[in-house]
Amino acid sequence: MPFLLCSGNFLLSSRGTPASPLMEPGIFITFEGSEGCGKSTQVERLSVRLAVAAPGRPLLTLREPGGTALGEEIRRLLKLTAPGWTVLPEAELLLFAASRAQLVRETIAPTLAADGIILCDRFLDSTTVYQGIGRRLELAEVAAINEFAAGPRRPDITFLLDLPSADALERLHRRSLWANLPPDRMELELPAFYEQVRTGYLALAALHPERFVTLNAALAPDELERQIWTHLTRRFHGLCSDRRP
């Protein structure tokens, strides 16, 4: 798509050099992908593995929006589908940024400073893709807001769980039926929106191969878990033998 290949603004949306685990304390791991790709399942599985591999380090599992009292309230607002309730794209962008600003300063920065490990279900890449690409907001403006909200630290590694948009929507439909819950506001988006999201994620991963690991989310959960662990332990040597008091 033209904006993915030609727009300098898209490049601005994730500017900055990813942090190196040798230069900064802590390990910051994020998971990205469209709705229904299985991020939450893999975050939970990786958390269990890390608790065994590095028992002496602080370990936090977070989600965006959310992770703080303020963030969870913003999450509730963003998912609301009450009649007459409309969130404009610009307002949506700022709500996500507000949740992130609180999470970074209240939780993420202190944990990383203590050499902790953080697993986060979505971070600023979601805003770049969903609001910048999916909502067609000006990418330079999205980048500036991302920069302000997230501060200087970027994830050390980002796992992108890639799934065709039609398959992702089918998973969402099955999940809603199984849980007997109505779809939330984001799950009501049209297929074209999710195709834009997927394309945006793949382009972002191509721009930043040093940080992104793109995996096939259609794989069985056990195989996906194995691949995630293999990539992580290759990137962070000695993680499995870490036994700090």
Q: What phi and psi values does residue 122 have, to the nearest 5 degrees?
A: 85, 150
Helix (H, G, I), strand (E, B) or coil at 57: coil
pLDDT in tens, 113-125: 999 999 999 999 9
pLDDT in tens, 20-54: 334 578 999 999 999 889 999 999 999 999 999 99
pLDDT in tens, 56-84: 899 999 999 999 999 999 999 998 877 77
Q: Across all residues in the chain, what is the average pLDDT?
A: 86
pTM of the model: 0.86
The enclosing H or E element of 183 equals none
Alpha-carbon distance 126 to 32, whole Å?
7
Domains in the chain, please, with CATH?
2-234 (3.40.50.300)
Provide the pLDDT for residue 4: 42
Contact residues for 210 (Cβ-Cβ < 8 A; gap 6+): 18
pLDDT in tens, 145-196: 999 999 999 999 999 999 998 887 787 777 766 766 666 777 777 889 989 9
